Structures are given as C-alpha cells and as structure tokens.
Amino acid sequence: MNLNRANLADIILEKLSLRNDLKGEFSLKGRINSCYIDDVFPEEIALEIYNAFPSPEEMAVHKSLRENKRIAAQMDLYNPLLEEIVFAFQDKRVVKIVEEITGIEQMTPDEHLYAGGISLMANGNFLNPHLDNSHDNDRENYRVLNLLYYVTPDWDVKNGGNLELWDKGTKNPQRVIHSKFNRLVLMITNKSSYHSVSKVVSEGKRCCVSNYYFSKKPAENEEYFHVTSFYGRPEEPIKNLILKADSTLRNLIRKVTKKRVVETKHIYKKDKK
C-alpha cells in the first residue's frame, strides 16, 4: 500500500468514527479535557512510521531547565512518510471528526508546524510541566488542541517518557497517560492544561508525531494570552521559582511588544530548497 496522507487519513477517520465513546471521555468534568485511541493504524504501518524516524543526531536539540528533547519541523529533510503522517492528521475530514469528538469549533490545523512535527526523547530526556503558548505566531488564533501520536514499539510505562496531565495543578498528583505504541492522545490546550513528559529512564527512543489545531475562538469562555510557561515538578521547588520567573518575564515582554522579539525557528518553511 502506498502510504500517503490521504489514505493514512482514511484509516484515522475510520478508526475515530467507530468510537462513539470518545466524546464522553473527552469532556469528563474535573480534569483536563482529553481522550486517547489505541491501535490507530494496523501494526505494520505504525512500525513503518517508527522506522522512518531519523536518528537523534539528525534532529535539533532543545535543552534547558525546561526540557531536554529532540525535535524536527523541517519535515522534507527526512523520510517522506513522516511528512505524510504529520499531514494526515491535518486532513479536513479528520479535523471535522475531531471537532465532533472535542466539541471545539472551527479548528484549523497548523500547516506551518508552528510547534508540531516529530519529537524524539531518549534516556534522561524530559519535558517539565507547562502550559502551551496560547496563540499562533501572529497572535490571531488560539492554540486549542494537541494531537500526540506515539509510535515506539513495546514502549513500557516503566520506561518513563509518559504524558502527564496535572488535572489539579502542578502541586497535586498527576494523571499518567502511557505513551504507548500506536496510541493517539487528544488533549485540550487552554489556561489550565498543565502537562509534562516524565523523564525517560531506559534505553530506546520515545517517538511522537505531534499536531496542533488552532481556532479563532478560545477553548474556554473568556479571552486570554500567555507564552509557553514552564513550572517545576512538585519535588523541584527551586526550579519552579526559576521557571516561573522566566515565564513571567517572557509573558510581560510579549504582552508589551505584542509580537515575538526573536523570530521562532520552529516553523516549517515549505519554500526552502
């Protein structure tokens, strides 16, 4: 089978349309709106996607107190299947059914991969608790949904690298979503969707295909603006102070300047070459 974005989208669509329980799960009260779907693709396709991932050395390192991971947004540098799978999640039909599941209206996918694409986390890598940036680069649309598709075969929950949702804030226990092979997570992003990735504590690479959807309307009842804001884990009080000061300062600068001071590099420039 020729795996292009249209026939990959066909499979996603079929899978999602069989699950009329997702809508209820996504909107459960008292937690960050989220749900997951297992066995999204036939196993051999999911494996092929995993095998298409570049080696860690071919990806950009994002390393600071906030995070340590590898990412790639310039998708045309890699195996073409990766670009196909990223954009399969942007198919109009997929967006429509995801709107039905989440109840979030008028969503548009992020074709410039403002923050999406592929990511890879190896031993020792982590992503501290954070709120995603509230808007797109031009501050015209709200970032409202994350679609995270995990593709590492046999990834055990004990390996770490799991998605954590801090339903009651970062001072209370988190809900762990195992970043299991062939699992797609849909997760709202709003003013209180604190999430993180626990430290990877084993060999191997935790690979994720990420997509973000935007909307003119916020995923809450009121308007808001914030930059990506990081926090310490409950056992990291000092780091929490440093990260909070850092977020507060960047927020302030952005609120005053309205636009980015430094142009983001993490954008898929399609006319490059």
Ligand X SMILES: O=C(O)CCC(=O)C(=O)O
User: Is 146 an interacting residue with respect to ligand X (CB under 6 A)?
Assistant: yes
Task: Report how far residue 103's alpha carbon sits from residue 107's, in angstroms, rounded to the nearest whole number.
Answer: 10
Task: Pick between residue 119 and residue 240 the one whose CB is nearest to ligand X.
Answer: 119
Task: Report how far residue 41's alpha carbon sits from residue 38's, in angstroms, rounded to the nearest whole number.
Answer: 9
User: Is 82 an interacting residue with respect to ligand X (CB under 6 A)?
Assistant: no
Task: Pick between residue 10 and residue 110 the one whose CB is nearest to ligand X.
Answer: 110
How many chain residues bind ligand X (CB under 6 A)? Answer: 11
User: Is 195 an interacting residue with respect to ligand X (CB under 6 A)?
Assistant: yes
- Residue 100: C-alpha distances to residues 21, 24, 104, 193 (Å): 12, 11, 7, 20
How many chain residues bind Fe ion (CB under 5 A)? Answer: 1
CB within 8 Å of 114: residues ≥ 6 apart: 136, 137, 212, 264, 266, 267
Residue from 129, 119, 133 nearest 65 by CA: 129
Span 105-164, contacts to Fe ion by CB under 5 A: 132
Look at phi and psi of residue 170 and say left if phi exceeds 0, alpha if psi is from -120 to 50, else beta.
Answer: alpha
For tokens 């960047």, what's the residue?
250
Give the residue, chosen from 102, 119, 125, 134, that forms a contact with ligand X under the rule CB under 6 A.
119
User: Is 186 an interacting residue with respect to ligand X (CB under 6 A)?
Assistant: no
User: Is 132 an interacting residue with respect to ligand X (CB under 6 A)?
Assistant: yes
User: Least distance to Fe ion from the beta carbon of 176, Å?
Assistant: 15
User: Least distance to Fe ion from the beta carbon of 20, Å?
Assistant: 28
Which residues are at the interface with ligand X (CB under 6 A)? Answer: 119, 127, 132, 146, 148, 163, 179, 195, 197, 208, 210
